[in-house]
Amino acid sequence: MSKLYTDEKNVLIIISLLKANGISKVIVSPGTTNVAFVASVQQDPFFKLYSAVDERSAAYMACGMAHETGEPVVISCTGATASRNYMPGMTEAYYRKLPVLSITSTQATGLVGHNIGQIIDRSKKPNDTQRLSVTLPIVKDEDDFWDCEVKVNQAILELKRGGGGPVHINLPTRYSKNYDTKKLPTCRVMDRFTVVDEFPEINGKVGIFVGAHRQFTSEEIDAIDQFCAANDAVVFCDHTSSFNGKYRVGYALAASQMKGDMSEDKPDITIHIGEVTGDYASIPMVGKEVWRVSPDGELRDTFKKLKYIFEMDEKTFFERYTDKSKAPSDGSLKRCQKRLEEIRNSVPNIPFSNVWVASRMAHLIPEGSVIHFGILNSLRSWNFFDLPQSVTSTANVGGFGIDGSLSSLIGASLANQKKTFFGVIGDLSFFYDMNALGNRHVGNNLRLMVVNNGKGFEMRRTDGLVGHFEEQADDFICALGHFGNKSPTLVKNYAQDLGLKYISASSKEEFDSVYQEFVVKGASDESMVFEVFTNGDDESLALDMIRNVSRDSKKSVKVAARRLLSDKQIKTIKKIIG
């Protein structure tokens, strides 16, 4: 029976993407670990194969062929010392920017170091033999497929990036003997554009998603607003996005609704700028395909939908896609704003919690000040509500540590003594980093809110990954009861001994009687700590209630409550909503 393609998926992905990119020339050296690849390409008439026993010679032949044709050339070899012999030719290719793609096959890389025949360690290669080296997984599930697909795209695109050069793929095999695959998988083909390239057309509804971003310049904001006006787009933002242009939409409240259908607001194409996002809720608002814009030009497939990467600054990109002759349009903006307003107007009376505090205070943060949020609950709670336009905000979502929120806030406050710097962090974040408050440089422009629920609520929330443990999560997963177990005096004494003003609240009434002092505009004589004592059950309930706002909020909350809450919590919810 004639042999078709192998059933080894990593090989099928390579072949599918080589074909999609028009790469057909392959120089093959003999061996066993590369059989799945070689046997598959030799039966596909798209490929033009050449044989070379000596791998050193194969790599140099590829140099000659690539130079002559200007096209990428693939070389394939097996284990033992075969791949070592690619080094001289790959070095030649590196210094002459020749697009040679070496695919070195191997048994599973976990076998390295166990004295198993022909297994060598290729994890490190001389820098000047490749622009990029990737090791593909053996594809066993969807996650491996995605990983493999992205890595092969990276490798192929790197062949021509920055003037081009050689690239290495390490390809593990499981020695499958099945060659019955008739059809190659359809793989996502990614492409990279630089300023000199012709850009693809935008076909469909477009929107922008901003991850954590440095502060925008006014020219950048203007370019984005004009792009939105010309393309009827909105900018999905959170409090780490730093974008405060006209088309900003803080969408977390709508996106978090467990029952809402937000598909009308969802674009087909999402332009992705910025870095890691802390707004997990809005991720489902990313459209069918993602075009990322970043000067680093890297394939960052945050949403697993990446199609294009534009290696350039954002202003250049948005200006290129702004047809100024088009009548400005803000239909999408108005629709999103209306939806948010409807939800906001239906928010029920939620219990005393971080979310409640945010609902009371977000709009009161004084104009022109700065606010930082702790990971993760504080950021999420405050993302439900808009800040005044001139307030800038951020959080440590680069690494998502609870270890430095206070230090980062203090660092920022030192950089500009004339502004007021607010912080909202949980008790674990505070106690972790509390020594920073004693730093002798701390001035009088700091207003720190510590929401003390006595534990790491993040791991206890009922809609989270570990909430199902309920009370069993408290002791070790949520670290309940440390640091004085919500002591009414510990933070107070520490703050006061450092010469800071201290206020606190344990209920809505107490909060209402003291909070004005915290948000008073302008300089104070001293920095301030505002400790807000909440409890975990109320935090949970507040979050569940805010995620179940709808026209028929009573019904939604009851349905969600049945699914998510304990009997005790359901009793409390009934008391609140009647």
Check binding of 423 to ligand TPP (CB under 6 A): no
- Using the rule CB under 6 A, give the single segment among 133-141, 434-442, 456-464, 548-556 that binds ligand TPP: 456-464
Residues 299-338, mask of contacts with ligand TPP (x by CB under 6 A): ----------------------------------------
Check binding of 541 to ligand TPP (CB under 6 A): no
The residues that bridge with 392 in the sheet, in sequence order, are: 370
Binder to ligand TPP among 175, 199, 400, 476 (CB under 6 A)? 400
For residues 51 and 472, which CB has a smaller minimum distance to ligand TPP in the complex? 472
Check binding of 429 to ligand TPP (CB under 6 A): yes
Check binding of 355 to ligand TPP (CB under 6 A): no
Least distance to ligand TPP from the beta carbon of 495, Å? 17
Least distance to ligand TPP from the beta carbon of 400, Å? 5
Least distance to ligand TPP from the beta carbon of 410, Å? 16
Check binding of 530 to ligand TPP (CB under 6 A): no
The residues that bridge with 75 in the sheet, in sequence order, are: 27, 102
Binder to ligand TPP among 456, 486, 548, 557 (CB under 6 A)? 456
- Using the rule CB under 6 A, give the single segment among 176-184, 199-207, 250-258, 454-462 that binds ligand TPP: 454-462
Spatial CB neighbours of 206, under 8 Å, sequence gap ≥ 6: 231, 233, 267, 268, 269, 270, 271, 287
- Using the rule CB under 6 A, give the single segment among 93-101, 278-286, 424-432, 498-506 that binds ligand TPP: 424-432
Binder to ligand TPP among 240, 257, 420, 453 (CB under 6 A)? 453
For CA atoms 290, 296, 301, 303, the dihedral sign is negative
How much of the chain is helix, strand and coil, in % rounded to 5? Answer: 40, 15, 45
For residues 85 and 535, which CB has a smaller minimum distance to ligand TPP in the complex? 535
Binder to ligand TPP among 147, 265, 279, 427 (CB under 6 A)? 427
The residues that bridge with 192 in the sheet, in sequence order, are: 309
**What are the b/e assignments for 392-431, b being 16+ CB within 10 Å?**
bbbbbbeeeebebbbbbbbebbeeeeeebbbbbbbbbbbb
Token reading at 539:
């935090």
DSSP 290: E
Helices (H), 2-133: 9-20, 35-42, 55-69, 87-96
Least distance to ligand TPP from the beta carbon of 300, Å? 21
The residues that bridge with 181 in the sheet, in sequence order, are: 5
Least distance to ligand TPP from the beta carbon of 381, Å? 8
Binder to ligand TPP among 376, 409, 449, 557 (CB under 6 A)? 376
Binder to ligand TPP among 348, 368, 401, 484 (CB under 6 A)? 401
Least distance to ligand TPP from the beta carbon of 457, Å? 3
For residues 267 and 278, which CB has a smaller minimum distance to ligand TPP in the complex? 278
* 94: Cα separation from own chain's centroid: 33
Residue nearest to ligand TPP (CB): 426
Binder to ligand TPP among 458, 531, 538, 544 (CB under 6 A)? 458
Token reading at 8:
């080894």
- Using the rule CB under 6 A, give the single segment among 128-136, 184-192, 226-234, 397-405 that binds ligand TPP: 397-405
Check binding of 426 to ligand TPP (CB under 6 A): yes
Q: What are the C-alpha distances in Å from 516 to residues 68, 359, 361, 365, 406?
A: 75, 14, 9, 10, 22
> Cα(234)–Cα(533) distance, rounded to whole angstroms?
37
Token reading at 63:
């140099």
Least distance to ligand TPP from the beta carbon of 479, Å? 7
Binder to ligand TPP among 82, 358, 379, 428 (CB under 6 A)? 428
Check binding of 540 to ligand TPP (CB under 6 A): no
Check binding of 475 to ligand TPP (CB under 6 A): no
> Cα(464)–Cα(190) distance, rounded to whole angstroms?
33
Check binding of 220 to ligand TPP (CB under 6 A): no
Using the structure block, give the residue that is written with the tokens 């994890």: 123
**Cα pseudo-dihedral 400, 457, 485, 571, rounded to 10:** 170
Do 357 and 513 contact (CB within 8 A), yes or no? no
Helices (H), 286-419: 314-320, 331-345, 354-361, 377-383, 405-415
Least distance to ligand TPP from the beta carbon of 445, Å? 23
For residues 53 and 465, which CB has a smaller minimum distance to ligand TPP in the complex? 465
Check binding of 264 to ligand TPP (CB under 6 A): no
**Cα pseudo-dihedral 100, 106, 109, 115, rounded to 10:** -130
Coil, helix or strand at residue 569: helix
Binder to ligand TPP among 221, 255, 355, 375 (CB under 6 A)? 375
> Cα(399)–Cα(556) distance, rounded to whole angstroms?
35
Residue ranges binding ligand TPP (CB under 6 A): 354, 374-378, 400-403, 425-429, 451, 453, 456-458
